[in-house]
Amino acid sequence: MLYSSAGILALIIHLIINYDVMRKTPESEIIPLRHKYRRYLYSVLAYYITDILWGLLYERHLITLTFIDTALYFYTMSASIFMWTRYVSAYLRRDNLFGRALKISGWLFLAFEIIVTTLNFFIPVLFSFDEAGVYHAEQMRYVTLTLQIIMFVLTAVYTLSVTIVSKGPMRKRHRAIGIISLAMVGFIAAQVRFPFLPMYAIGCMLACCLLHTFVLENEKEEYRGMLEQKIREGVLKGNYYDLLTGLQGMANFFKTSTIKRKALREKGHYPTFLFFDLNGMKFYNERNTFKEGDKLLQVFAGILTEEFGAENCSRLGSDKFVVYCEDEKPDDRLLKVFADWKNRNIKEAPSIRVGIYPDKKGDIPIGTACDRANIARMAIQDSFVSRFNYFDEKMQVDAEARRYIITHLDQALEEKWIKIYFQPIIRATNDRVCDEEALARWDDPERGLLSPAQFIPILEDANLIWKLDLYMVERILEKIQKQKEAGLYLVPQSINLSRADFDSCDMVEEIRKLVDQTDIPRSLLSIEITESAIGSDFEFIKEQVDRFRELGFPVWLDDFGNGYSSLDVLQSMTVDLIKFDMRFMQQFNTGDKNKIILTELVRLADGLGIDTVCEGVERKEQVDFLREIGCDKLQGYYYAKPMPLEDILKRYETGTQIGFENPDETAYYNAIDKINLYDLTSVAKEEEDNLGNYFNSLPMAIVEVRGNIARITRSNQAYRDFMQRTFGISLTGLRTSFGDSEKGTGTTLVKMLRECCEEEGGRKVFDEQTPDGSSIHSFMRRIAYNELTDTTAAVIAVLTISN
Ligand code: C2E
Ligand code: CA
Ligand code: CA
């Protein structure tokens, strides 16, 4: 029992002292060569067990079991010495002859021991038991003991020789290893002298204690010192702990996750990096004060800590957090975080967006891994509910493009890679250009022509769009000057503004300054704001719109009908024009509903005194329809694509221009535009077949009279049908001139028209006979007079036809 109790004691001490290294606690992971050391510890552990068993079995005279255990004892003991040589030679980190000799002799020793021990199962060369069950050491036992002594002497001499050159704490450690090896020599010699005393076990126990105290603890201490130093530096830089949430700073986070990632990879797994962002924090702060916002961040940090552990979380700043997670698919844990966040019942709590980067290869710096998680998060940027998203390769490509745009913006502006294109907007009644919209193009020397879709959202997201938009204003002002010099009529130019413009600077004031530096009237610059930009922050945007209008800049509501709150917006915000979203034209032929909505919207805008433009007009039938329903202006490829100023000027040179509207006629055309050729009250009468009858209204037309000539400028389908049926006249084109004589068909009409046009506010109700003898009862009203061309416009409606 004496024999075993020494072994048991050694085992217990061994386990206590080396617990952290064998369990791979995070602290032990800082020890250099911990894998080799760990292997040594495990082999010593196995050796202790066989040694303890030996004492117990031998006392009980269980010969066969004792025999087997003795063999195992020899295997494990030689393994531990082999591991020791491996550890020492690696520790000394010297690739010299001595080092190589130690390594090779370690291998030879192990091979020899295995062969001899295995041989002993057949021939008693190492040890034997006699009939009485007494243990006898054989010849080879002394050889192996000698070899063991040689191995330890070798390591001792080698390490002690290295102490001559090594320095500082390293030297102390080398010396400790050398002395430990020497002590082992002593214990092995004692074992030879007293084979029934557990000398070797006691030696190992002592060696482990010495090693732990003078080598490992020393190493840890050095590391801690270094860490403390870093922390001190960190505290000075303010990045060790986040003062608000108590989470560790980035530098620390990078360090601990590097260590943990390595350990995890050795187990054959990989971690994920999570990037958290609270969407709407800014809004929350504005509503509830920053103090409340800080509290909210603390609550959120608490939730993260609870789920992932404080040592795995860090705050990047503002409302951004990163987490190191040892789950390859952390979906469930994230759902838990979302649920927890929701359960706190915080009013107007921001939503959580998480980007996940599965770090499968582990070959990139932690910062890059977090970056990629952030890229995955940005892909769900617009989500208003809590969501997570995994990183994929395409995002990497997008992120690269994004980086390119952001880093090259200044150069692009400076070197005028950003070109300004203009798309004409045509007045429906006179087919002349009454406005132009400025659209940006990025003509990159490396990447070719980039469309706004490729850079506007990026610049908006990076809060850099203001630079581009102010640049656009400058270019527009330049263009107006040039156009003036070329002797062309000037029409208002519209510029697109983004929501983000207003976050970066006082856009209203900046634009005012730019325009007022020139002699260009403010009314020549219209501001387009998309309906979606108004979004969550209605009051703020409304204020900006009002300021623009008070200064004399017309404001247009872009992409109208695309959002969910179109009508609300119109009710509470005053704008000069609404631009119907392209989707109305794209869905033009998908049934009547779309057309009815557009018709009603035009009527609504008329009622509110707001002008209308429809964008995305590509076909003749769309132009006809929009004219009929009284849409004031048209924009789209049917007329022209956006083009640079040079192209516009070229068109004037070659005579292929659409032609600008004379500003002096603008008021006249505005008045004609306001007439809607649909009598929408007719709908109410038809309960059934509602859609089919929607457009069957009174025959109506707008006529312009100049001297002897009357022209139908606009008409509705009912009027065209009526003319065809009654007079056999086809008004296929909407602009057919029909009355240049005083004789024949339409004589009364022309006469009435002339009389009506002569007096301001003129109205006529009259009857006319048709060739087939029926009587037409009509109404007529003068709308406007164009001084410049001496032209009068009137609207005609056919009220009844009787036989
Ligand atoms: P948006 O303001 O709705 O501009 C209209 C877009 O529709 C333009 O695309 C124009 O080229 C295109 N378009 C015009 N007519 C037709 C047509 O008949 N059919 C079709 N399919 N498309 C037509 P673009 O130039 O690519 O601009 C896209 C968006 O980028 C613009 O939409 C605007 O929101 C934004 N944007 C463009 N330039 C600027 C700028 O300088 N600043 C800001 N903040 N945003 C800009
Ligand atoms: Ca626009
Ligand atoms: Ca638009």
* DSSP H stretches of helix in 462-506: 465-485, 501-504
Q: How many residues does the chain have?
A: 803
Residue 364 has pLDDT above 50, yes or no: yes
- Cα–Cα nearest to 548, from 556, 538, 539: 556
In angstroms, rounded to a whole number, what is the distance separating the alpha carbons of residues 749 and 705? 12
| CA 422 to centroid of ligand 1, rounded, Å | 10
Q: Which atom number of ligand 1 is nearest to the Cα of residue 498?
A: 44
Which ligand lies nearest to the CA atom of residue 579 in the structure? 3
| CA 87 to centroid of ligand 3, rounded, Å | 72
Q: Is 637 in the pocket of ligand 1 (CB under 6 A)?
A: yes
| CA 438 to centroid of ligand 2, rounded, Å | 8
| CA 582 to centroid of ligand 3, rounded, Å | 7
Count other C-beta atoms under 10 Å from residue 742's C-beta: 11
In angstroms, rounded to a whole number, what is the distance separating the alpha carbons of residues 353 and 389? 8
In whole angstroms, how far apart are CA 635 and each of 51, 296, 576, 586, 650?
Answer: 94, 48, 17, 13, 20
Q: Which atom number of ligand 1 is nearest to the Cα of residue 581?
A: 3
Q: Spell out the residues 6+ positions from residue 213 whose beta carbon is closer than 8 angstroms to its own.
A: none
Q: What is the pLDDT of residue 721?
A: 82
What is the layout of strands, in order, in the sheet containing 700-706?
Answer: 709-715, 700-706, 791-802, 775-786, 763-769
In angstroms, rounded to a whole number, what is the distance separating the alpha carbons of residues 786 and 792? 6
Q: Where do the DSSP E strands lie in 285-347?
A: 313-317, 320-325
pLDDT tens digit sequence for 261-319: 999 999 999 999 999 999 888 888 888 888 888 888 988 999 999 899 888 999 988 88
Q: Which atom number of ligand 1 is nearest to the Cα of residue 635?
A: 15
pLDDT band with cut points at 50, 70 and 90 for residue 537? confident
Q: Is 497 in the pocket of ligand 1 (CB under 6 A)?
A: yes
Amino acid in position 771: P
353 strand-pairing partners: 277, 387
* DSSP H stretches of helix in 379-443: 393-414
| CA 661 to centroid of ligand 2, rounded, Å | 21
Q: Which atom number of ligand 1 is nearest to the Cα of residue 642?
A: 11
SS3 content of the chain, % helix, strand, coil (to 5): 55, 15, 25
Q: Is 423 in the pocket of ligand 1 (CB under 6 A)?
A: yes
In angstroms, rounded to a whole number, what is the distance separating the alpha carbons of residues 798 and 776? 7
Of 5 and 685, the one with more pLDDT: 5
Which ligand lies nearest to the CA atom of residue 423 in the structure? 1
Q: Which atom number of ligand 1 is nearest to the Cα of residue 420?
A: 41
- Residue 311 is given by DSSP the state G
In angstroms, rounded to a whole number, what is the distance separating the alpha carbons of residues 65 and 53? 9
The closest residue, in CA terms, to atom 7 on ligand 1 is: 616
Q: Judging by beta carbons within 10 Å of its beta carbon (0-12, 13-18, 19+), is residue 289 exposed, middle or buried?
A: exposed
- Residue 496 is given by DSSP the state E
Q: Is 496 in the pocket of ligand 1 (CB under 6 A)?
A: yes
The closest residue, in CA terms, to atom 37 on ligand 1 is: 439
Q: What is the pLDDT of residue 227?
A: 65
In angstroms, rounded to a whole number, what is the distance separating the alpha carbons of residues 604 and 596? 12
Q: Is 558 in the pocket of ligand 1 (CB under 6 A)?
A: yes
Instruction: Kindly state the tokens that stand for 211.
Output: 């090693």
Q: Which atom number of ligand 1 is nearest to the Cα of residue 452?
A: 30
The closest residue, in CA terms, to atom 2 on ligand 1 is: 496
Residue 680 has pLDDT above 80, yes or no: no
Q: Which of 420, 615, 618 to mutate to test the pocket of ligand 1 (most atoms within 8 A of CB)?
A: 615
- Residue 643 is given by DSSP the state B
Count other C-beta atoms under 10 Å from residue 72's C-beta: 18
| CA 494 to centroid of ligand 2, rounded, Å | 8
| CA 449 to centroid of ligand 1, rounded, Å | 15
As a whole-number percent, the residues of the chain with pLDDT over 70 amount to 92
Q: Is 452 in the pocket of ligand 1 (CB under 6 A)?
A: yes
pLDDT tens digit sequence for 583-632: 999 999 888 888 888 988 888 888 788 999 999 999 999 999 998 888 99
| CA 526 to centroid of ligand 1, rounded, Å | 15
Tell me how many degrees the CA angle 542-535-419 measures, rounded to the nearest 5. 85
Q: Is 636 in the pocket of ligand 1 (CB under 6 A)?
A: yes
Which ligand lies nearest to the CA atom of residue 452 in the structure? 1
User: Mean pLDDT over all residues of the chain?
Assistant: 86
Q: Judging by beta carbons within 10 Å of its beta carbon (0-12, 13-18, 19+), is residue 733 exposed, middle or buried?
A: exposed
Of 241 and 491, the one with more pLDDT: 491
Q: What is the DSSP string of 600-629?
A: HHHHHHHHHT-EEEE----SHHHHHHHHHT
| CA 308 to centroid of ligand 2, rounded, Å | 46
The closest residue, in CA terms, to atom 41 on ligand 1 is: 440
Q: Which of 418, 420, 456, 495 to mutate to test the pocket of ligand 1 (most atoms within 8 A of CB)?
A: 456
pLDDT tens digit sequence for 424-465: 999 998 889 999 999 999 999 999 999 999 999 999 989 999
Q: Is 700 in the pocket of ligand 1 (CB under 6 A)?
A: no
Q: What is the DSSP string of 190-254?
A: HHHH-TTS-HHHHHHHHHHHHHIIIIIHHHHHHHHHHHHHHHHHHHHHT-SB-TTT--B-HHHHH
Q: Is 460 in the pocket of ligand 1 (CB under 6 A)?
A: no
Residue with tokens 């109700």: 765
Q: Where do the DSSP E strands lie in 288-343?
A: 313-317, 320-325
Q: What is the pTM (predicted TM-score) of this model?
A: 0.58
Instruction: Kindly state the tokens that stand for 46.
Output: 């196995």
Which ligand lies nearest to the CA atom of residue 439 in the structure? 1
pLDDT tens digit sequence for 540-571: 999 999 999 999 999 999 999 876 666 778 88
Do residues 157 and 149 lie in contact, with contact meaning Cβ atoms separated by under 8 Å? Answer: no
Q: Which atom number of ligand 1 is nearest to the Cα of residue 440?
A: 38
The CA radius of gyration of the chain, in Å to the nearest whole number, is: 45
Which ligand lies nearest to the CA atom of residue 560 in the structure? 3
Q: Is 457 in the pocket of ligand 1 (CB under 6 A)?
A: no
| CA 380 to centroid of ligand 1, rounded, Å | 23
Q: What is the pLDDT of residue 27?
A: 62
Q: Which of 454, 470, 472, 496 to mutate to test the pocket of ligand 1 (most atoms within 8 A of CB)?
A: 496
Q: Is 386 in the pocket of ligand 1 (CB under 6 A)?
A: no
Which ligand lies nearest to the CA atom of residue 585 in the structure? 1
Q: To which H or E segment does residue 101 belong?
A: helix 97-119
The closest residue, in CA terms, to atom 8 on ligand 1 is: 439
| CA 558 to centroid of ligand 2, rounded, Å | 6
pLDDT tens digit sequence for 152-186: 998 999 898 888 888 878 888 889 999 999 999 99
Q: Is 746 in the pocket of ligand 1 (CB under 6 A)?
A: no
What is the layout of strands, in order, in the sheet containing 313-317?
Answer: 313-317, 320-325, 272-279, 351-358, 387-390
- Cα–Cα nearest to 41, from 28, 26, 56, 55: 28
Tell me how many degrees the CA angle 6-38-223 measures, rounded to the nearest 5. 110
The closest residue, in CA terms, to atom 29 on ligand 1 is: 452
pLDDT tens digit sequence for 465-502: 999 999 999 999 999 999 888 888 899 999 999 999 99
In angstroms, rounded to a whole number, what is the distance separating the alpha carbons of residues 401 and 414? 20
pLDDT tens digit sequence for 694-750: 555 678 888 888 887 888 888 887 888 888 888 777 776 544 455 544 444 567 777
pLDDT tens digit sequence for 754-772: 888 888 878 888 888 877 7
pLDDT band with cut points at 50, 70 and 90 for residue 643? very high
Q: What is the DSSP string of 28-54?
A: GGGSTTHHHHHHHHHHHHHHHHHHHHH
The closest residue, in CA terms, to atom 30 on ligand 1 is: 452
Q: What is the pLDDT of residue 688?
A: 42
- Cα–Cα nearest to 65, from 10, 3, 47, 73: 73
